């Protein structure tokens, strides 16, 4: 009797896997582009579905899975180093580590600011801004006005963005930080019912309009500003009410600095993963680099991770930035599956649930992959979206209580991303419901 029941379960499991595979390979939606998909039962160490898992795909923001794992492994989940500094007589010489939290409109960390404000020494900002390019490899120049491409910086202030926001019913909008209000120019609306805020390409000057249709509506718009050592010193000087002088003296970099701990890494990971924040992802790689050798280099952080943390992946990651904005990034689904296994092994499940977007509940999949009414989320996964790429990789909890690992990478689809998500929702729910 037991043997018969066991055989029946094997047959049912096999039929389920066949149906999953067919729903992917025979789909009129997935047939329109290039699909890579892998589904793993880690408890059995068994690959259930494998479609082009050895092929390279542009991962878009699935790249943040690699950034997260590298950052979590190197930085841990406690406080990050927010400033490097040296005390020389009556002088305090400090420089940036890539920490994105200082006066960030969402993270709201003031530890470094308070530290500088409470000094009775002369303040000098050591210029290491040339260590970091504002844009990553393969980024497009015309993203300068878009929140998703805020400039990478050794010492960000305010998240390197200006936030224009208005609550429903308010008569006017707010500007954060307020000091940019003087850099704004009102222009005539251009035949649209929405508001518009734009920055000049080469200057921190902004023009805007808010139409009559938009005046009673809620909105929030983040526009990157151009940063530099001199401008950062100016912003910090304004905040603390004390002059900060920029200096260039490379010999100070050879000295071992004191380090100021500032923001909880947990808060940065969660914000980066849930809303797929590109700026935080880029800055995390700089924090990793600083932790390794007091130098800021995304390329160095990636090289360290590939050699010391990811050398056992099935396929070498072609990895160039922290966020996935670059189409030069390429990963295989089976390498992402292997990475998910590393994350499960080293990050407690409750933290995974706190960091990752949850289907139907939070982050970038708040409106996708919902569980049955009254049930907890069954998908915890990282999205990825570029004009030529759509992705979802993470963890799927079945009704039987199993936690499966999956990676779905979709490239070169000439159809709206919502069509892909709708089709993928059917597949993932079927797996949740039947396996």
Each residue's pLDDT tens digit, 257-270: 999 999 999 999 99
Q: Is residue 102 part of a domain?
A: no
Domain C-terminal end among 209, 226, 243 = 226
Determine the pLDDT at residue 169: 81
Looking at the fold, whether 355 and 424 belong to one and the same domain comes out as yes
Domain's final residue, options 191, 209, 226: 226
Task: Tell me which residues of the chain have a pLDDT lower than 50.
Answer: 5-10, 12
pLDDT value, residue 398: 97
Domain boundary at 180, 205, 226, which?
Answer: 226
Does the residue 162 lie in any domain?
yes
Give per-residue pLDDT as tens, 96-127: 999 999 999 999 999 999 999 999 999 999 99
Full residue range of the structural domain in which residue 336 is found: 21-72+287-434
Structure confidence at residue 193 (pLDDT): 66
300 and 377 in one domain? yes
Same domain for 291 and 412? Answer: yes
Same domain, 164 and 293: no
Q: Cα(102)–Cα(111) distance, rounded to whole angstroms?
A: 8
Q: Across the chain, what does the average pLDDT equal?
A: 95
317 and 388 part of one domain? yes
Query: What are the backbone angles phi and psi of residue 70, rounded to the nearest 5°?
Result: -60, -45
Output phi, psi for 409, to 5 deg: -115, 130
What pLDDT shows up at residue 7?
A: 47
Query: How many structural domains does the chain have?
Result: 2
Do 291 and 429 lie in one domain? The reply is: yes
| Residue 322 domain flag | yes
Residue 174 and residue 48 share a domain: no
Q: CA of 114: how far to CAs of 100, 121, 238, in Å? A: 16, 14, 13
Q: pTM above 0.85?
A: yes
Tell which residue, 429, 430, 431, 414, has the closest CA to residue 30: 414
């Amino acid at each position: 009797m037991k043997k018969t029941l066991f055989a029946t379960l094997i047959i049912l499991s096999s039929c389920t896997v066949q149906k999953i595979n067919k729903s992917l390979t025979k789909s009129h939606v997935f047939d329109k582009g290039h699909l890579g998909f892998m589904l793993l039962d880690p408890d059995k160490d068994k690959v259930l579905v494998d479609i082009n898992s050895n092929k390279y795909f542009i991962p878009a923001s699935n790249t943040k899975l690699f950034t997260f794992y590298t950052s979590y492994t190197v930085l841990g989940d406690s406080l990050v180093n927010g400033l490097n500094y040296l005390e020389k007589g009556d002088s305090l010489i400090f420089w940036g580590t890539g920490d994105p939290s200082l006066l960030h409109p969402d993270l709201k960390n003031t530890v470094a600011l308070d530290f500088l404000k409470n000094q009775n020494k002369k303040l000098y900002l050591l210029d290491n801004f040339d260590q970091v390019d504002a844009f990553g490899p393969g980024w497009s120049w015309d993203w300068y006005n878009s929140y998703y491409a805020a400039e990478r910086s050794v010492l960000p202030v305010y998240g390197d963005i200006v936030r224009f926001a208005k609550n429903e019913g308010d008569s006017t909008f707010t500007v954060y930080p307020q000091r940019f209000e003087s850099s704004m120019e009102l222009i005539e609306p251009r035949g649209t019912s929405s508001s518009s805020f734009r920055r000049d390409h080469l200057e921190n000057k902004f023009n805007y309009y808010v139409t009559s249709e938009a005046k009673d509506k809620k909105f929030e718009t983040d526009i990157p500003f151009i940063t530099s050592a001199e401008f950062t010193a100016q912003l910090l000087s304004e905040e603390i009410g004390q002059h900060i002088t920029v200096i260039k003296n490379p010999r100070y970099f050879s000295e071992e600095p004191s380090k100021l701990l500032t923001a909880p890494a947990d808060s940065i990971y969660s914000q980066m993963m849930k809303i797929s924040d590109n700026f935080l992802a880029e800055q995390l790689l700089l924090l990793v680099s600083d932790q390794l050798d007091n130098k800021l280099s995304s390329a160095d952080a990636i090289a360290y991770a590939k050699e010391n943390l990811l050398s056992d992946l099935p396929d070498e990651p072609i990895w160039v930035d922290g966020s996935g904005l670059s189409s030069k990034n390429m990963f295989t689904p089976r390498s992402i599956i292997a990475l998910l296994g590393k994350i499960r092994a080293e990050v407690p499940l409750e933290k995974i649930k706190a960091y990752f977007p949850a289907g139907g509940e939070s982050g970038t999949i708040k409106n996708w992959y919902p569980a049955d009414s009254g049930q907890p989320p069954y998908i915890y996964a990282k999205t990825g979206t570029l004009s030529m790429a759509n992705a979802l990789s993470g963890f799927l909890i079945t009704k039987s209580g199993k936690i499966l690992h999956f990676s779905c990478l979709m490239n070169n689809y000439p159809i709206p991303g919502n069509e892909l998500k709708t089709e993928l929702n059917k597949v993932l729910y079927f797996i949740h419901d039947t396996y």
